[in-house]
Amino acid sequence: MLLIALTVLPALAIALYFIRSDRFIEPASTILFSLFLGVAICFPAGVLNTLLIWNQEDPDRLGYLAAFTEEPLKFLMIFFFLQGRTEFDEPMDALVYGTVVSLGFAILENFGYVYGAGSETSAYFVAMLRAFTAIPMHAACGVVMGYYFGRYVFSGSRRHLFLSLAIPIFFHASYNYLASIDSLFFLLVLFVLVVYCVRLHKIFVEEQKLKAMESERKLI
């Protein structure tokens, strides 16, 4: 039970923080749907990562390619399954949904790494390590994606649409590449990403304080 908790609870705790930070909290049904979408994309991501990475001669050096499969899949879930919902009616909603989708993905992915680690000692080590590295990385990429996607939906700016995908891919790929070559600079990338994520989230929080009501007009 403890190992399961270490595998799941860090992601759920981060998700709950961002859900509760929303002044106009989203319906539980939509939050659960977003979580389900994140879990669901693990399967196509696994197929694509196997073809592009694990079936190659030197897969350990190709880990950065996962950013080009996983982040677009998260993006597609928001674009096709969440942006059209009636409860998606302000920019902060995109940030919350993006974070939850990312963490849904991270939870199921975490099970694969933790329970595939071999010995029980290794499993606990992997669970603890990922709680402070991979899980925050996925969450922060979701925040960044959601921030720019929210800007896109309520401004119509194609530049924001591009950034909502390009920036998470950049950070995710950089993180994976540096981790795959055993460079501790991957921690620096994670630190910069988390700081950036906190800054973007704070912008939406401050904007919400000035609002009398939740709803805004979509411009796409």
pLDDT tens-digit profile, the chain (220 residues) = 999 999 999 999 999 999 999 999 999 999 999 999 999 999 999 999 999 999 998 888 999 999 999 999 999 999 999 999 999 999 999 999 999 999 999 999 999 999 999 899 999 999 999 999 999 999 999 999 999 999 999 999 999 999 999 999 999 999 999 999 999 999 999 999 999 999 999 999 999 999 988 899 899 8
Residue 76 to residues 65, 73, 85, 218, Cα–Cα distance (Å): 17, 5, 14, 18
CB 142 within 8 A of CB 101: yes
- 196 token code pair: 């950036």
Task: Tell whether 144 is covered by a domain.
Answer: yes
At 60 the pLDDT is 86
- Cβ atoms of 97 and 82 within 8 Å: the answer is yes
What is residue 117's predicted lDDT score, i.e. its pLDDT? 94
Is 42 contained in some domain?
A: yes
Question: What is the total count of domains within the chain?
Answer: 1
Does residue 80 lie in a domain region? yes
Residue linked to tokens 């009636």: 86
219: in domain: no
pLDDT for 152 equals 98
Domain ranges, residue 135: 2-209
Residue 217 included in any domain: no
- Give a yes or no: residue 68 inside a domain: yes
Q: Which residues contact 154 (CB under 8 A, 6 or more apart)?
A: 90, 91, 216, 217, 218, 219
User: What pLDDT, on a 0 to 100 scale, did the predictor assign at position 212?
Assistant: 85
- pLDDT at position 20 is 98
* Amino acid 12: pLDDT: 98
